[in-house]
Amino acid sequence: MTTKFYNRLLAIIIVLFSFQLFSFNSFASNLDGMSREKMQVFIGEMPKAELHIHLEGTMSPETVAKLANRNKFNFFKTADEVRQSLSSRVPGLTGFLSHHNKQITVLQTEKDFLTTVYDFMEKCKENNIVYVEMFFDPQAHTSRGIDFDSMMKGILAGREAGQKAFGVKLNLIISINRERSVDSAVEMMSNAKPYKKYLLGLGIDSGPEEGNPPSKFKDVYAQAKKDGYFLTIHNDVDEKNSTGHIREAMDILKVDRLDHSLNAAEDIDLVAEIRRRDLCLTASPVQRGSDPEPQDIPRIRFLFQHGVCISLHSDDPGEFDSGYLTNLMLNFQQAGKFSKRDMVRLMLHAFKAAWLPDEEKKAYINSLKKWAAANYVNI
């Protein structure tokens, strides 16, 4: 009797232990034994949030060619010409910016901004992205003589039309180009004042980061906080003093979120501090044609395994081979052999990081959890 009892107890423990392994071992389960095609369906159908995306980088080659022709430019007349320019870039930030800065010149009129936002929201629908927080960089346009109000009106009209047509919700993050002067940032924020009710947050992007540390914009951020903006900042990967910049962003700018910031993985005290403050990181493991795999998988894995609220985003999907969110997540999953549960948890982090009222956030999270349960994923 006693032996039988212990045998049964042992069997139960083995079953429970196996279940634990299956459910909670992060990497045990590419495992899920799924083909790339099935994983693509799984990730494709997952309800998603996109929190690190730039309006200027969302333009597909087709959209760029459409606007170039509309404005009678003598370059980028076809999507193939845009693709050719993308594939012949030199690696690194310089190559990226040389194409990017040429590409944004096709944005000229209110209607061009409308088209860009609308076309991106159509991509959201295709990718099952239900919620977006999108950066846009006014200084990159006003410095070319584009009128701030025309730009804003176009963006807002595109958003309204996109929400109506595709049922996607999109909030806006106005973003400072870090290489420009503080005065220019102050002027941008002054132009933005009449539109405050349409602007959820403030960010900093572009480069170079060296010589333009977060603290440069201390006063702009202090005022923005008072004005009710949520705050975030790009801390690009492997910059000089990257961890110092992350600390400045947290301690001096008092940000609510961090973009990239993956060098935190090199400083375990910083990881602990990020967790203590409950800050989320928006990572973007993009991939160029010449890259062997998506960028930064080891650091993202490390931060994820150490309990940091880190999520995956597509940054400039029109300008990277990783493309829009479903494809980016699929490439990341395949290269890093992440499980289905990992992928859902990474998306859970994105909804957790969203700057939404609690009730709304809870509704998105519940719907993700419900979807996961229906797909036999226990999160």
- Any bridge partners for residue 204, and if so which? 176
Q: Which amino acid is at 273?
A: E
CB of 316 to Zn ion, least distance (A): 7
The nearer residue to Zn ion, 32 or 209, going by C-beta atoms, is: 209
Which range touches Zn ion (CB under 5 A), out of 2-10, 23-31, 239-247, 311-319? 311-319
List CB contacts of 265: < 8 A, sequence separation 6 or more: 271, 299, 302, 303
Helix ranges (H only) for the chain are 2-24, 36-45, 55-58, 61-70, 79-87, 93-103, 110-126, 138-142, 148-166, 182-192, 218-226, 242-251, 268-276, 297-305, 325-336, 340-353, 358-374
The nearer residue to Zn ion, 60 or 284, going by C-beta atoms, is: 284
CB of 234 to Zn ion, least distance (A): 5
CB of 315 to Zn ion, least distance (A): 5
* Tokens 């990992």 -> residue: 342
The nearer residue to Zn ion, 56 or 315, going by C-beta atoms, is: 315
> How many other C-beta atoms are found inside a 10 Å radius of the C-beta of residue 67?
25
**Which positions from 54 through 73 interact with Zn ion, judged by CB under 5 A?**
none
Q: Which of 195, 262, 256 is nearest to 230 (CA)?
A: 256
Say how far apart CA 368 and CA 379 lie, in whole Å. Answer: 10
Which range touches Zn ion (CB under 5 A), out of 30-38, 103-111, 308-316, 320-328? 308-316
List CB contacts of 192: < 8 A, sequence separation 6 or more: 138, 148, 152, 174, 199
* Tokens 């040429």 -> residue: 102
The nearer residue to Zn ion, 29 or 127, going by C-beta atoms, is: 127
Which range touches Zn ion (CB under 5 A), out of 5-13, 211-219, 223-231, 313-321? 313-321
- If you write DSSP's letter for every residue of 217-250 in order, what string do you get? GHHHHHHHHHTT-EE--EE-TT-TTHHHHHHHHH
The nearer residue to Zn ion, 283 or 308, going by C-beta atoms, is: 283
Which range touches Zn ion (CB under 5 A), out of 78-86, 287-295, 307-315, 359-367? 307-315
The nearer residue to Zn ion, 48 or 54, going by C-beta atoms, is: 54
Residues 96, 214, 191, CA angle at the centre, nearest 5°?
A: 80
CB of 139 to Zn ion, least distance (A): 15
- Helix/strand/coil for 297: helix
Which range touches Zn ion (CB under 5 A), out of 88-96, 137-145, 309-317, 348-356? 309-317
CB of 318 to Zn ion, least distance (A): 13
Task: Count interface residues toward Zn ion (CB under 5 A).
Answer: 1
CB of 57 to Zn ion, least distance (A): 8
Which range touches Zn ion (CB under 5 A), out of 89-97, 213-221, 262-270, 310-318? 310-318
CB of 148 to Zn ion, least distance (A): 21
Q: Is residue 315 at the binding interface for Zn ion, with CB under 5 A as the rule? A: yes
Q: Is residue 256 at the binding interface for Zn ion, with CB under 5 A as the rule? A: no
Binding site for Zn ion (CB under 5 A): 315
